Amino acid sequence: MAKKHSQRAEDLRRALALEAARIMAEHGIEDFLQAKRKAADRLGVNDVAVLPKNIEIEAALRERQRLFGRDSHDHSLKEQRRIALDTMLLLGEFQPRLVGSVLKGTATNYSDINLHLFADRSESVALRLMEIGVPHEFYERRVKMDAERSVNYPALRFEANGRTVDATVFPIDGIRQSPYSPVDGRPMKRADSREVSELIGPN
């Protein structure tokens, strides 16, 4: 009986992961918790014990992108990475690093391009954007640095070739410690412009 219950819970967990992935892909939701809650609401699930982990949703999203519209996903991802690289070259003085779904390859057509920049003062980034005529908005992003510590860092949001770029500004020495990923709780992968160029490959 316990085994049957366990299998039912696993099946429900899998269904929730697939539904959350669908919601993220089709509705442009990037927050895993929000997608998870919407999936649970849609499937009428009230038991938080069966909610999938973020990494399970990401795996379901990869699977969905592989099965449905693979060509369009590859095209969109390449475009996002090209825009990321162009932006990184414009902001080269701040040692930009690409992070998140555009780097990992799970970005949907709605995903922001997430960058980490490094500067003594966030205003330096704003001044650079003003110099090149890019309107932007400031806000604060809460970043999980380790299991016990979260820190607020300045961030800027702006448009680049029709895509939204979301750049978090860390202190100069912040390049040595990558914050935790909200997907798997491990240090986030970061890629410099050379690595992003290699991901894009030849034209």
pLDDT digits (tens, 9 = 90+) for 30-67: 889 999 999 999 999 888 888 999 999 999 999 998 88
∠32-9-5 over CA atoms, to 5°? 170
pLDDT score of 1:
44
**Parallel/antiparallel/unpaired status of strands 113-118 and 97-99:** antiparallel
pLDDT score of 113:
97
Give kind and range of the element (H or E) at residue 156: strand 150-160
∠114-58-16 over CA atoms, to 5°? 130
**Alpha carbons 61 and 2: distance in angstroms, whole number:** 30
**Alpha carbons 68 and 88: distance in angstroms, whole number:** 30
- Per-residue pLDDT 10s for the chain (203 aa) are 445 558 888 889 999 999 999 999 888 888 899 999 999 999 998 888 889 999 999 999 999 988 887 788 899 999 999 999 999 999 999 999 999 999 999 999 899 999 999 999 999 999 999 999 999 999 999 999 988 899 999 999 999 999 999 999 999 999 999 999 988 889 999 999 999 999 998 76
H-only helix segments in 44-186: 54-67, 70-90, 101-104, 122-131
* DSSP designation for 94: G
What do you get for the CA distance between the two ends of the chain, in Å? 57
Q: Quote the tokens at residue 74.
A: 């590859």
Question: Which amino acid makes up residue 67?
Answer: L
CB–CB of 139/147 below 8 Å? Answer: no
pLDDT score of 4:
55
Give kind and range of the element (H or E) at residue 143: strand 136-144
pLDDT score of 203:
63
- DSSP, collapsed to helix, strand or coil, labels residue 16 as helix
